[in-house]
A and B are shown apart, each in its own frame.
Chain A
Amino acid sequence: MKIVTALLGAAVAFAATTAAFAQDFKPAVIFDLGGKFDRSFNQASFEGAERFKEEFGVDYREFEIQSDAQREQALRRFAQQGNNPIVVAGFAQASAMEAVAAEFPDTDFTIIDAVIDLPNVRSVVFKEHEGSYLVGMLAAMASESGTVGFVGGMDIGLIRKFACGYVQGVKAVNPDATVIQNMTGTTGAAWNDPVKGGELARNQIDQGADVVYHAAGGTGRGVLQAAADNGALGIGVDSNQNYLHPGEVLTSMLKRVDVAVYDAFKDAQDGNFSAGVQVLGLAENGVGYAVDENNEDLLTDEMKTAVEDAKAKIISGEIEVHDYTTDDSCPVS
């Protein structure tokens, strides 16, 4: 096994040296399961990388993970090829990153949605609970029935963080509101099951929900469609998904993964890449809610004012949104 790795390494290193003459700065990005066109999380990181490429004319290497087994392999290969910096999107990549980053101390790594304590790794995490709080407020204000829904993808702490922030936002506007929460599944397949997602959303709508928020990657496609089909409003996540069903998506909880990817590339290019944990919240414009021509008729001035007010208060610390992952529990449900 060792010999094989060494041989492979040698072959790859040879390929890398020939390539290195062409270009010294070689950024790379690895997308998670779901693929770079999932119109959600991974697409956001793809857009960040594309923006960098457009602005500076620097090409980047990319890889889309197809199965869990590829994570470490892909990451190690990229590092061996001399790509630097390497940006990896997704919490599920953490263990692979931990192993590989230690082997390549001279390479700058960035991981999004997970924290790894190594001197050459920048960990970018988002305050999803803050953004979810704001869309929760919007949901509660747009709801006529007083019942709103949430559909999560895989049942993990990160997704519960979305749910918990959302519920807090809903309750802040309407303490009597009911929030129906569902998770699609407990495995990676839960990110790619739009049929089940649609079924869950439809169940919630049958139970009276008229606004449904999803944090479920590709599964969310079914959630938004079911909401649009049954006269309810959907709320998108990660990327701006308002355009998927114009007039039927209330807003989208933006998570600026694109900014994180762009910044990692840019900092490395400028030579001031910094390791450590970066937390992007409302104050840093790392999360937010989307307003564009597709949903401007759905958001009244009153709603916008209330949300902007809450946003200012969250930034100033006057409102504190509880983060589920700090103690694995949510004060409201």
Chain B
Amino acid sequence: MDLAELFQLFDSTLRNATPLLLACLAGLFSERSGIFDIGLEGKMLAAAFAAAAVAAWAAAPYVADPFPGQLSGLGLGWTAAILGVLAGIFASILMALLHGFASITLRGNQLISGVAINFLAAGATVLIGESLFSMGGQTPQLSGNARFSGLDLPLAETLGGIPILGPLYRDVISGQVILVYVALLAVPLTAWVLFNTRFGLRLRAVGENPGAVDTAGVSVVRMRYSAVLIAGILCGIAGAYLSMGTSAAGFVKDMTAGRGFIALAALIFAKWRPYPALGACLLFGLLEAIGSKYQNVDIGLFVIPVQFMQALPYILTVVILAGFIGKAIPPKAGGVPYVKER
């Protein structure tokens, strides 16, 4: 394996890891506040659909571009792409509020509410898509101006001459879709919010001992709702990335294909911490990249079948969770609705 091939693998890893990372951070906020969130998948799916549908609508010629060409420097072909992301975030927030309403206000079972969101998103996206576009639940193919294109970072070509680091910068780090950088920047931001702000302290406290937070005069309900909302925003970006930042270029039913659950596994693997979450998502991204790139690996004695390579992320999840990471302790108050008087 030469260096260029390795960089292609890393390039692919970053693309694979982006939706996982955003969803994983979404889950982190939600679960740190004591709200289990298995509806990541559904929120991403709803966002992917809303983003693609609005982008397709906005990119149609009958809506004039208010800022023609001015945003192309950001790798955004058109304002339609931004509208799409906003729509994705909006749809995801709606789902998140539903989850919040069921599990915070009504004190329902958080797992059941999450499952319901997954089903709701799977059905509603296809239904609405069919009635809007009559294409069997798909959205029209998004063309150049309604999608995100790669963003060339400054000096990529100039620095490309430096051995190893130059090509790494030029081929892997530069040229990604802007949402990839958003996802990467979200990691230190999350860490800072969680561990260096008053909001973060309360958020963590509300997931461990909501009674104490309540005694201190901070509203548990409000804290949990804000966490769920942040989760909605992050899932919205993740969904928009899937339908607008990848080669899918539009929405196809069930296109999240289990990524929300992988993100959940990564979250547990990372023990609900931001930087390990980055590592876990990159690891899963790398495994997916390896599974895609090296199918039917011939190791001399026998050929490793493609099925095994594709199952690697899942096998690894089981192996890691079963013993390698030590004890993963979820936030103490996770999954328990907060009742004020006890």
Contact = CB atoms under 8 A, between A and B. Distances in A.
Contact of B248 (A181, A198, A244): A198
Contacts of A200: 292
A107 interface: no
Given A36-B136, A182-B292, A194 B15 contact: no
Give the interface size class of chain A: 35 or more
B125 to A, nearest CB: 12
Contacts of B134: 37
B296 to A, nearest CB: 8
Interface string A11-46: 000000000000000000000001111100000000
A203 B292 CA distance: 8
Q: In terms of DSSP, what is the predominant structure of the interface of chain A?
A: helix
Contacts of B295: 181-183
Contacts of A218: 138, 252-253
A199 B293 CA distance: 9
Contact of A195 (B257, B307, B310): B257
Contacts of A226: 247
Contact of B136 (A35, A181, A225): A35
**Which among B12, B137, B250, B255 has the greatest number of chain A C-beta atoms within 10 A?**
B255
A64 B246 contact: no
A44 to B, nearest CB: 13
Nearest to A43: B136
Interface string A167-203: 0000000000000011101100100111111111111
A221 B248 contact: yes
B255 A193 contact: yes
B183 to A, nearest CB: 15
A201 B248 CA distance: 12
Q: In terms of DSSP, what is the predominant structure of the interface of chain B?
A: loop
A35 B137 contact: yes
Contact of B247 (A192, A199, A207): A199
A229 interface: yes
B252 A196 contact: no
B257 A196 contact: yes
A229 B136 contact: no
B141 interface: yes
A225 B248 contact: yes
Nearest to B256: A195
**Which among B137, B247, B253 has the greatest number of chain A C-beta atoms within 10 A?**
B247
A186 B310 contact: yes
Given A203-B292, A225-B248, A37 B257 contact: no
Nearest to A64: B136
B247 A185 contact: no
Contacts of A192: 252-255, 257
B247 A35 contact: no
B280 interface: no
B252 A221 contact: yes
B247 A225 contact: yes
Contacts of A64: 136
A225 B329 CA distance: 43
Contact of A225 (B15, B16, B141, B242): B141
B254 A203 contact: no
Nearest to B253: A192
Contacts of B64: none
Contacts of B257: 189, 192-193, 195-196
A195 B246 contact: yes
A222 interface: yes
B255 A203 contact: no
Nearest to A35: B136
A155 B306 contact: yes
B12 A203 contact: yes
A206 interface: yes
B246 A221 contact: no
Interface string A190-234: 001111111111110011000000000010011101100100000
Contact of B16 (A37, A189, A199): A199
Interface in B242-287: 242, 246-250, 252-255, 257-258
Nearest to A333: B296
B132 to A, nearest CB: 13
Interface string A254-283: 000000000000000000000000000000
B38 to A, nearest CB: 18
Interface string B1-38: 00001001001100110000000000000000000000
Interface string A148-168: 000000010000000000000
A99 to B, nearest CB: 27
Contacts of A225: 141, 247-249
Interface string B129-173: 000001111100100000000000000000000000000000000
B102 to A, nearest CB: 25
Contacts of A198: 246-248
A274 B258 CA distance: 44
Contacts of A155: 306-307
12 contacts: A35-B136, A182-B292, A183-B295, A189-B258, A194-B250, A197-B248, A198-B248, A202-B12, A218-B252, A221-B141, A225-B141, A244-B141
Given A36-B136, A37-B135, A155-B307, 6 more contacts: A34-B136, A37-B137, A194-B246, A199-B289, A202-B12, A203-B8
Pairs A-B, 5 closest by C-beta atoms: A198-B247, A37-B136, A35-B136, A194-B248, A226-B247
